Amino acid sequence: MRLEASYSMKSHTSARIAVTIAAALAASCATNPVTGQRQLSLISESQEIQMGQEAAKEVEQTIGLVDNAPLQAYVRRVGMTMAQSSERPNLPWSFGVVDDPTPNAFALPGGFIYVTRGMTTLMRSEAEMASVLGHEIGHVTARHSVSAISHQQLAQLGLGVGGLFSTRVQQLGGLLSTGLGLLFLQNGRDAERQADDLGFRYAQGRGYAMSEMSDVFRALERLSSPERSALPTFLSTHPSPGARVETIDAKVAALPSASRGSIVRESEYLRQINGMVYGEDPRQGFFRDGEFVHPDLRFRFAVPRGWKGENLKQAVISVSPQQNAALQLTIVQAQSPDTAARQFASQSGVAFSDASSQNINGLRAVTGYFQAATESGNVAGIAAWVSHEGRTYQLITYAPENSVASQESVFQQIIRSFGPLRDQAALNVQANRLEIVTVPDRVTLSEFNRRNPSVVDLNELAVINDVASPSAALAPGTMVKRVVGTTRR
């Protein structure tokens, strides 16, 4: 009898959800600006823009923009010429280069588009860049992220999360808080193909040589060891580069010669990236041999061996191999460690105890124990605030509350290790940079490298110069990238 009653209740609930979904679908479809067809959309254009603005702010605060105003203006100009002739010209389009070494590009809802520094150093021409920006513009004009979020919301409702459609504004607030999480929305293969087609059309409409588009995917496929990054890699979010090369090449071959475009602007593009940092920038901090060092800010601290770390613009984080302990270092807006500790202790949900003033490696500091409630459960650990060269550093070490006792000695070692960086080799380290060299005569890439040595291997040099192999010949007058610096790879 109980089983029968339970089944009846389940059937009634399923019917109610089905009616709710049907009503929501009827009220929540919009016309796709690219296809002209009806599309599920639980998010208005104004909400889409608001989401993108919030996420863009977080991208720029967390990852940071490349400090190169002429390059930023150049990328913005190329992107805007295509965006303004797209199906959604009135969006608040924005284009920028973020300071991340991994070759990547991504679009946020509402028209906020970024390429990484790593992507700019991989490409060789304005036409290549136009094809990448055009692809990301296509994701926005076709509202791919909006569609993905809408389907996620619908799936939540199908699982029994009631009230979703009647409280869309409140739900939108939750989505806004995801910030960088929007970068990890996965586009399906159909969406990627559509973005390829749209990017092709947008770049073609501006007269760019469409044969350059496949060069980007070919280079990405050949690049065997991308840099570490907090972002998803371009290959993980943009699958099957080999098949896409074949598709693009076939599309170009099918075009009449007059429609294939002629604008490449290789020399203009290469001049823009001449001197660009290549790969990781060690001046902004790096992990080495059980420690993190920051040459520009002149500090160091120990990181337990085996822990995996990320160096972001506003934070250094590291997590134990078992993912049962972590650390986070930030600079806080407080004039002293005492003020910073009081601000930390005043937060809702934080219990702070045993605060004490200390001297850590000659630096004034405050340390204490804390417990905090998080969405994933209660955590506890040791916090420290250290004054160094006019800045206050906050170093938080923490673990799940029920296991923090086993981590205390590790946390103490991390905190007690923070101090000034005095290693001259680390203080003097410099970033590798691109240098553009024009070859005066016909040489192979190998011969060019003998004359103009790079700190990257020949295979990587071939990839970034879009030549088939180190034995490939370079014609007189060819502009060639080399990587100069002290850090060999």
What residues does each domain of the chain span? 40-273, 291-427, 433-484
Q: Over 80: is that where the pLDDT of 22 sits?
A: no
Q: Over 50: is that where the pLDDT of 366 sits?
A: yes
Determine the Cα–Cα distance for residues 356 and 441; give it in Å rounded to an integer.
Answer: 69
**Which of 246-260, 350-364, 403-417, 441-455 is predicted with the least confidence, judged by mean pLDDT?**
246-260
Taking only the tens place, the pLDDT of each residue in 231-281 is 444 444 555 667 778 888 898 888 888 888 899 999 999 999 999 999 999
Q: Over 80: is that where the pLDDT of 7 sits?
A: no
| pLDDT of res. 260 | 86
| pLDDT of res. 20 | 39
Average pLDDT for 416-427: 96
Taking only the tens place, the pLDDT of each residue in 98-124 is 999 989 999 998 999 999 999 999 999
Confidence grade of residue 148 (pLDDT, cut at 50, 70, 90): low
Determine the Cα–Cα distance for residues 251 and 193; give it in Å rounded to an integer.
Answer: 13
| pLDDT of res. 427 | 96
Is 291-427 a domain of CATH 3.40.1000.10?
yes
Token readout for 11 is: 């059937």
Taking only the tens place, the pLDDT of each residue in 456-479 is 999 999 999 999 999 999 999 999
Confidence grade of residue 314 (pLDDT, cut at 50, 70, 90): confident
| pLDDT of res. 235 | 42
Measured N-to-C along each axis, helices 126-141 and 189-205 cross at an angle, to the nearest 10 degrees, of 130
Which long-range contacts does 236-240 make (Cβ < 8 Å, 24+ apart)? 237/104, 237/106, 237/186, 237/187, 238/135, 238/192, 239/189, 239/192, 240/189
Confidence grade of residue 44 (pLDDT, cut at 50, 70, 90): confident
Average pLDDT for 202-212: 93
Indicate the average pLDDT of the chain: 82
Determine the Cα–Cα distance for residues 383 and 435; give it in Å rounded to an integer.
Answer: 44
Confidence grade of residue 12 (pLDDT, cut at 50, 70, 90): very low
Q: Over 80: is that where the pLDDT of 489 sits?
A: no
| pLDDT of res. 175 | 34
Determine the Cα–Cα distance for residues 386 and 394; give it in Å rounded to an integer.
Answer: 7
CA 136 to chain centre: 14
Q: How many CA atoms lie within 13 A of 482 on its CB side?
A: 20
Determine the Cα–Cα distance for residues 149 and 175; give it in Å rounded to an integer.
Answer: 9
Residue type, 299: F
**Which of 21-30, 278-287, 437-446 is predicted with the least confidence, judged by mean pLDDT?**
21-30
| pLDDT of res. 241 | 65
Confidence grade of residue 146 (pLDDT, cut at 50, 70, 90): low
| pLDDT of res. 27 | 41
Looking at the chain, the whole-number percentage of residues with pLDDT higher than 70 is 78
438, 479 contact by CB (below 8 A)? yes
First to last CA, the chain: 71
Q: Over 50: is that where the pLDDT of 180 sits?
A: no
Taking only the tens place, the pLDDT of each residue in 346-363 is 988 899 999 999 999 999
pTM: 0.77
Confidence grade of residue 310 (pLDDT, cut at 50, 70, 90): confident
Looking at the chain, the whole-number percentage of residues with pLDDT higher than 90 is 58
| pLDDT of res. 217 | 86
| pLDDT of res. 332 | 93
As a residue count, the chain comes to 489
Q: Please state whether 259 falls in left (phi above 0), alpha (psi between -120 and 50) or beta.
A: alpha
| pLDDT of res. 2 | 28
Q: Please report, for residues 40, 234, 445, the alpha-carbon distance to residue 113 in angstroms, rounded to integers and kept in the order given.
A: 23, 14, 34
- Does 489 or 268 have the greater pLDDT score? 268
